[in-house]
Amino acid sequence: MATIVNADVDYLFGKNGSLYVHQLYISILEFEKYIKKDSFIMFKKKLKSILPSPSVGTKNEATRDEWLAQTLQKIPSGLTILDAGAGECKYKKFCSHLKYISQDFGQYTGGAGEAKDIGLQTGSWDNTQLDIASDITQIPLPNNSVDAIMCTEVFEHLPNPILAIKEFSRLLKPNGKLILSAPFASLVHFAPYHFYSGFSRYFYEKHLPENGFEIETLEFNGNFFEYLAQEIRRLPYICQRYANKKISIFSKLSIMFLLFLLQKMSKKEMNSQELLCFGCHVLAKRVSK
């Protein structure tokens, strides 16, 4: 068993990695036992500077933002884009070359009332930048009035996202672009406005063609190992909040080892996104009416 463990550690950290990690672990235990708390905090900072930091599970939002920026830049200047479910208009900055219209139902305030302590909340929310406050399935704009629609990380918050797709079909001009993203799986957030945990590729492949859209590109964000790493990184917070337990330095070290393994596997993965990923990025075209 020890040989197997040593081999795994060497695989993660390189030759003689198991000896290095064993000595490091013994040092941590002794330091935690005998040294004052303030000194231990300094020691942990030093430890972080020595060990490489795995990035696996940290690029969900950054990858999505990069895809959105590139996709929006390809829309010709001067066209009209509707940001449906715009929230705080985070992606308006990518639309400076377009006529930008923001829409949202405008009722989320960062967590209030009975739901303020449920799931993941933002604590505050700014609805003052919205151009239109309405139900996303009944947006007060004429038929065929916009050239593109962007709807990012919104579908999980809609009681009936298929009705939203139908509304997008009504609003878009022929050959207009629909830019979508939504999680494949998600924790409860923005309660009580969280109705679905996520959507697989098959949701888009069924409901978009049935409502007048042709999928041009469908890309996966992340993979099984990346998603697992993202959630493992939440463990210290989740343990503190839901088990009232602050995890030990040994537990944190164990998490780090697991993240190294997931990073190795993510680099070698082959189509694990078909099982689990952060979500899908979809670009579709409204076919001629």
Q: What is the pLDDT of residue 68?
A: 98
Q: How many CB atoms lie within 10 A of CB 87?
A: 23
What pLDDT, on the 0 to 100 scale, is given for residue 2?
45
3-state class (DSSP) for residue 218: strand
Which pLDDT belongs to residue 94? 98
User: Rounded CA gap, 195 and 68, in Å?
Assistant: 24
Q: Which pLDDT score is estimated for 37?
A: 56
- Pair type for strands 146-152 and 80-84: parallel
For 105, other C-beta atoms within 10 Å of its C-beta total 18
Across the beta sheet with 213-221, what order do the strands follow?
132-133, 99-104, 80-84, 146-152, 172-183, 279-286, 213-221
Task: Give the integer Cα–Cα distance in Å for 118 and 193.
Answer: 11
Q: Above pLDDT 90, what percent of the chain? A: 74
Residue bearing the bigger pLDDT, 18 or 206: 206
Angle CA(203)–CA(204)–CA(210) in degrees, nearest 5? 100
User: Mean pLDDT lowest for which of 87-96, 130-139, 231-240, 246-255?
Assistant: 246-255
Residue 39 has pLDDT above 90, yes or no: no
Tell me the whole-structure pTM to 2 decimals. 0.85
In this prediction, residue 41 carries a pLDDT of 65
Q: Tell me how far apart the alpha carbons of residues 164 and 245 are, in angstroms, rounded to a whole number.
A: 42
Q: How many helices (H) and strands (E) does the chain have?
A: 9, 7
- Encoding tokens for residue 74? 């390809």
pLDDT greater than 70 at residue 236: yes
Domains with residue ranges and CATH for the chain? 1-51 (no CATH), 60-223+276-286 (3.40.50.150)
Residue 3 binned pLDDT confidence (cut-offs 50, 70, 90)? very low
Question: Residue 1: what pLDDT?
Answer: 42
Which DSSP state fits 287?
A: -
User: Which tens digit of pLDDT belongs to each residue from 160-212?
Assistant: 999 999 999 999 999 999 999 999 999 999 999 999 999 999 999 999 999 99
Amino acid at 171: L
pLDDT of res. 4: 43
Burial of 143 (0-12, 13-18, 19+ CB in 10 A): exposed
